[in-house]
Homo-oligomer: A and B are copies of this chain.
């Protein structure tokens, strides 16, 4: 089993066109060509561990990803999020490689999913991008949106001025002009493409601030506890899109909205069916669309396979 470090992974990542690969993963998933068991979850006193795994039929490998979040780690000068991916041969179960990516591949494949969602659901003319959160994922989401929209005007809701300033410093070299939001709901008032990337457990955005033609991607909430959107927002959406319907029944924004009765299960649209062309994606400038991303093993399978393939070119 070859062990590959993050240092070795970073340079090859730059060579890979990830968007079509991750799209293909979602498409295969929604077409029923992927085997993705329920997410394994281990809860500890100071954090939680998720095991996402599975394979796409006809490909050479299956992938098992182990990712964790330990919220006290930053105070110990340790990374809050960690992760690694293991790859095995589908035909024989032989271990192929261990990608010690330290959670980086998860960050990237999550940001790519945000870009894919925006490609199919963002309004044709993005007047301003709204970002809730200033962490690594909030940065990467914006970075990957650069390939989808020409808009470089951004309103950012940060927990504090220091966080906002640090975010600006990172995003300015990529051409983004950031202004701070006083409240999270200002994002809905000022922007028509909004991405939430916080670990919030109480709703940040509310329905009364929502305007016609807005698209929201909620990618922060990946557990049953976390919540960024008031469920009333989902009630007003013309399209409620899940990366995985089965996962969104158990975790994330959709799970809260189903519980409150603001959304019915039969309204849910799976992202892969839009990519497959079964569903239309955004149908008009006036539509309100909301996508809930919980992270699906097919994203891990596709990025791990692409990295391994690039390393062995």
Which A residues lie at the B interface, using CB under 8 A? Answer: 1, 3, 35, 37, 40-47, 49, 51, 53-55, 62, 64, 66, 68-70, 72-73, 76, 78, 82, 84, 86, 88, 90-95, 98, 100
Contact = CB atoms under 8 A, between A and B. Distances in A.
Nearest to A80: B93
Contacts of A84: 1, 95
Most buried by B among A45, A62, A95: A95
B40 A54 contact: no
Contacts of A3: 1, 3, 98
Contact of A37 (B42, B46, B64, B86): B42
Contacts of A37: 40-42
Task: State the 6 A-B residue pairs at the shortest beta-carbon distance, nearest first.
Answer: A68-B93, A70-B93, A40-B40, A70-B92, A47-B93, A82-B93
Contacts of A43: 35
Q: How many copies does the complex hold?
A: 2
Contacts of A90: 44-46
Contacts of A35: 42-44
If over half of A's interface residues share one DSSP class (helix, strand or loop), that class is named, otherwise mixed; here it is: strand
Nearest to A41: B37
A227 to B, nearest CB: 23
B78 A94 contact: yes
Contact of A44 (B1, B42, B62, B95): B62
Contacts of A62: 42, 44, 49
Most buried by B among A3, A42, A82, A84: A42
Most buried by B among A40, A46, A84, A92: A92
B42 A1 contact: no
Given A3-B3, A45-B91, A49-B64, 4 more contacts: A49-B93, A82-B93, A82-B94, A95-B100
A305 to B, nearest CB: 16
A88 B90 CA distance: 26
Most buried by B among A1, A35, A66: A66
B88 A49 contact: yes
A32 to B, nearest CB: 15
A5 to B, nearest CB: 10
A86 B100 contact: no
A1 B40 CA distance: 22
B49 A44 contact: no
B64 A55 contact: no
7 contacts: A35-B43, A40-B40, A47-B92, A51-B64, A68-B88, A82-B95, A95-B100
Contacts of A49: 53, 62, 64, 88, 93
A219 to B, nearest CB: 21
